[in-house]
Amino acid sequence: MKIIKPTLIVNKDRVMKNILAMKQKVENSPGQIRFRPHFKTHQSAQIGQWFRDSGITSIAVSSVDMASYFAQNGWEDITIAVLVNPLEIEVINQLAKTFFLDLNLLVDSREIVTLLNNELKHPVKLWIKIDTGYHRTGVTWDQKDDILGIVNAIKRSPRLHFRGLLTHAGHSYKAASSKEIKGIYDDTVSKMNEVREYLEKKGFSNIEISIGDTPTCSIVNKFYGIDEVRCGNFVFYDVMQFFLGTCQEENIAAAVACPVMARYPQRNEIVIYGGAVHLSKDSITGKNNQKIFGLVTLPQNDNQEWGPIIKDTYVSRLTQEHGIIKTDSEFIKQINIGDILMILPVHSCLAANLLKIAPGGQNP
């Protein structure tokens, strides 16, 4: 496969393994749990099709535009897993009138429930976003009166159907160990169930619980105490998850193929065509406190796959179009200008958003 500029390469075998592993864990867990993978990671109809081929029918997305795109590609059960943006109510109405579409929206205030009741022309299902510790959006889990107020407001509306409680335990990305990540799962489930029990005591029933971050979903052996799993990053994983210990190297299913533009043996650095507009500026901190913007592998199988991570070698800096790789005198000897290096991205969602997956999903 000929590559001349930075290109996202997806390893379909690994993607399918990642999908099936998560799906089987959901199915092997007690109770009836729905698997609703988050499609913001790949944003691709073709990779969506691979999920469909695996038996998946429910998805989450992170924008109204993404919901429209996947609805046009035949998906019939979609959660827009960000709070309703009242400025997009017209577009949401367009989507909601699609006769086959089960549209799920998120709210965390009575104000937005009132607005939806007044402005929506078609029925939708609502989840209440709960903050269990990440502190991005959501009603704080122990503000039970506020939560009850929102449920009551939903129940009063003929067009709004209350479906349940949804949280994103994104603080799991800051955890220092697998044990801590497991602790965040337990804590999240405990808080969410406390809210559910409170609402049940107030007379409500059939309240679902939806959770979603890839770290906790990857670490737990079996899910319990929930009704829906909504993770997304697991489809590709990336260097951030690998450093967190939530995946193995062989789970990483997306890499950015980058041409070598220059090599500087005197400072053991290689410069690639592949920068902030290809990999994103997301970084992690390495053991020696160094910033890491990607790990380095060599291409295999005609640029369609890649080999093991090269030791003592990493993307140390990014400018708009360039990446600067720090390495050692051994590795730099093997590399020539015009070679391709396969960079494992720190955050695959952002790299895939920048580079886009080709329509049809084929590697180029």
Note the residues at the interface with its own copies (CB under 8 A): 3-5, 40, 62-65, 82-83, 85-88, 91, 108-109, 111-112, 135-137, 140, 170, 259, 261-262, 266-267, 269, 271, 273, 276-277, 280-283, 317, 319-322, 324, 337-338, 349-350, 353-354
CB of 97 to its own copies, least distance (A): 18
Nearer to its own copies, 59 or 349 (CB): 349
Contact 61/92 with Cβ under 8 angstroms? no
**What sign has the CA pseudo-torsion 42, 124, 187, 134?**
positive
117's CB contacts (< 8 A; 6+ apart) are 153, 156, 157, 159, 160
Euclidean distance between CA atoms 256 and 19, whole angstroms: 21
**What single-letter DSSP state applies at residue 296?**
E
DSSP assignment of 138-175 equals SEETT-HHHHHHHHHHHHT-SSEEEEEEE---GGGGG-
Nearer to its own copies, 221 or 266 (CB): 266
Q: Are strands 284-285 and 291-292 parallel, antiparallel or unpaired?
A: antiparallel
Residue 186 is encoded by which pair of tokens?
Answer: 């337990």
CB of 222 to its own copies, least distance (A): 28
Nearer to its own copies, 20 or 262 (CB): 262
CB of 119 to its own copies, least distance (A): 11
- Helices 45-53 and 12-28 cross at an angle (nearest 10°) of 50
Nearer to its own copies, 33 or 132 (CB): 132
Nearer to its own copies, 33 or 244 (CB): 244
CB of 234 to its own copies, least distance (A): 15
CB of 262 to its own copies, least distance (A): 5
